[in-house]
């Protein structure tokens, strides 16, 4: 599959390969390196690289803490990594976020490589140079923009990805379809299982193009938040029982319904949201009685401006806008659509 280029504060390539380890070895050359990976992937990494080049960290969000981050910085120093060394993150979005942040800060910034192993990692987290960890006050509150030297995508990783993670990750691809690429929507309608590689490749191209235009999230990149305003609030309201992609699925349906009412998005396209997301077994509704908490969480969200809440709206496939909607109106739409 054709490599995709990103041009941000540096130029880098997203490579598609059937052997991530071969690709990685040729990229490393003679440089000193350390691989950061999560427990469940350790054995597959050990099969390709010597154990003493690997640092194993906790699964998922548990690894994205400041405490773990400082422990790992000490580990890098202990191993004698210098400014020419390479940090390699192999894992889901949590691992690549952490590996990237280590690389952004160690010795004021060294090179890193992302080897994403989840759908969310491939189509979203590993691309765009946002790195960081969580605080107890909230997710991703500490971080830095620091693009990788390369992103290596090998679909073979997906064989062990739990099905729920796979489907939730694909919510971001559905988003890429609606905001930018109608072909992705056709591929979903044709069946995501048989079109998975093409869906991922095209989604990567969408994200790469957006971050190339707006690396530091001034305006253009906000389009990637389609479905995320309510999605983030639902994720928190559910106490993270709903996966990010599941919450974004509900958020996208809500954004589509708002767009239909306020911006003239056709009913057919709203219905296409339901059809594709339900086809992935993703949720399209949420508790009606959570509204007061959801609106207060959205109010705290950084996308808020004044009294109204700011949304990315959809006018047609590939055509987006930004709208501000009063909370009373939002409540009305929520209760009539996704609220159950």
Active-site positions? 108, 130, 172, 207, 217, 221, 225, 228, 232, 244
Closest C-alpha to 117, from 70, 160, 174, 146: 160
Closer to ligand NAD by Cβ: residue 89 or 339: 89
**Which parts of 123-152 interact with ligand NAD (CB under 6 A)?**
124-125, 128, 130, 139-140
CA distances from 92 to 16, 39, 110, 273 (A): 17, 12, 21, 26
Closer to ligand NAD by Cβ: residue 69 or 291: 69
What totals of helices (H) and strands (E) does the chain contain, helices first? 13, 11
DSSP H or E run through 144: strand 138-145
Report the distance separating Cα 127 and Cα 15, nearest Å: 12
Q: How far is the CB of 94 from ligand NAD (least distance, A)?
A: 3
Contact 338, 257 (CB under 8 A): yes
Closer to ligand NAD by Cβ: residue 72 or 330: 72
Q: How far is the CB of 131 from ligand NAD (least distance, A)?
A: 6
Contact 148, 126 (CB under 8 A): yes
From residue 67 to residue 106, what is the string marking binding to ligand NAD with x (rule CB under 6 A)?
------------------------xxxxx-x---------
Closest C-alpha to 120, from 146, 159, 92: 92
Q: How far is the CB of 247 from ligand NAD (least distance, A)?
A: 12
CA distances from 162 to 16, 92, 264 (A): 21, 12, 38
Q: How far is the CB of 288 from ligand NAD (least distance, A)?
A: 28
Exposed / middle / buried, residue 47 (Cβ in 10 Å: 0-12, 13-18, 19+): exposed
Contact 55, 95 (CB under 8 A): no
Q: According to the binding rule CB under 6 A, does residue 232 interact with ligand NAD?
A: no
Among 53, 55, 56, 60, binds ligand NAD (CB under 6 A): 60
Q: According to the binding rule CB under 6 A, does residue 166 interact with ligand NAD?
A: no
Q: How far is the CB of 27 from ligand NAD (least distance, A)?
A: 20
Vertex 167, ends 163 and 172: CA angle to 5°? 145
Closest C-alpha to 33, from 93, 96, 85: 85
Closer to ligand NAD by Cβ: residue 139 or 213: 139
Contact 55, 81 (CB under 8 A): no
Q: How far is the CB of 261 from ligand NAD (least distance, A)?
A: 28
Closer to ligand NAD by Cβ: residue 131 or 259: 131
Among 23, 111, 150, 165, binds ligand NAD (CB under 6 A): 165
Q: Select from 12-20, 27-35, 56-64, 270-278 the region that touches ligand NAD (CB under 6 A).
A: 56-64
| Residues at the interface with ligand NAD (CB under 6 A) | 38, 40, 59-61, 64, 91-95, 97, 117-118, 120-121, 124-125, 128, 130, 139-140, 157, 160-161, 165, 169, 244
């Amino acid at each position: 599959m054709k490599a995709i280029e990103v041009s941000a504060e540096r130029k880098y390539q997203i490579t598609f390969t059937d052997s991530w380890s071969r690709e990685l070895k040729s990229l490393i050359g003679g440089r000193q390196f350390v691989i950061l990976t999560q427990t469940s992937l350790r054995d597959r990494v050990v099969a390709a690289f010597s154990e003493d080049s690997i640092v194993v960290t906790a699964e998922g969000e548990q690894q994205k803490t400041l405490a773990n981050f400082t422990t790992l910085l000490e580990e890098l120093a202990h191993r004698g990594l210098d400014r020419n060394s390479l940090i390699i993150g192999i894992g889901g979005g949590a691992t690549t976020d952490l590996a990237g942040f280590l690389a952004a800060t160690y010795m004021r910034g060294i090179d890193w490589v992302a080897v994403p192993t989840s759908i969310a990692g491939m189509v979203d987290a590993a691309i765009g140079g946002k790195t960081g960890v969580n605080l107890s006050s909230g997710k991703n509150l500490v971080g830095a923009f620091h693009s990788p030297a390369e992103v290596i995508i090998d679909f073979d990783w997906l064989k062990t990805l739990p099905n729920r993670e796979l489907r939730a990750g694909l919510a971001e691809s559905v988003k890429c379809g609606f905001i930018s690429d109608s072909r992705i929507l056709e591929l979903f309608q044709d069946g995501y299982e048989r079109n998975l590689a093409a869906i991922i490749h095209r989604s990567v191209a969408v994200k790469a193009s957006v971050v190339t235009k707006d690396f530091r999230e001034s305006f253009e990149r906000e389009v990637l938040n389609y479905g995320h305003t309510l999605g983030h609030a639902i994720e928190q309201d559910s106490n993270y029982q709903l996966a990010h992609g599941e919450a974004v699925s509900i958020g996208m349906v809500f954004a589509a319904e708002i767009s239909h009412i306020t911006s003239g998005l056709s009913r057919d396209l709203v219905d296409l949201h339901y059809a594709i997301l339900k086809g992935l077994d993703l949720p399209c509704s949420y508790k009606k009685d959570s509204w007061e908490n959801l609106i207060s969480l959205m109010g705290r969200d950084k996308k808020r401006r004044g009294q109204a809440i700011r949304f990315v709206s959809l006018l047609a496939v590939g055509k987006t806008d930004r709208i501000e909607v009063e909370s009373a109106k939002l409540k009305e739409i929520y209760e009539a659509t996704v609220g159950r």
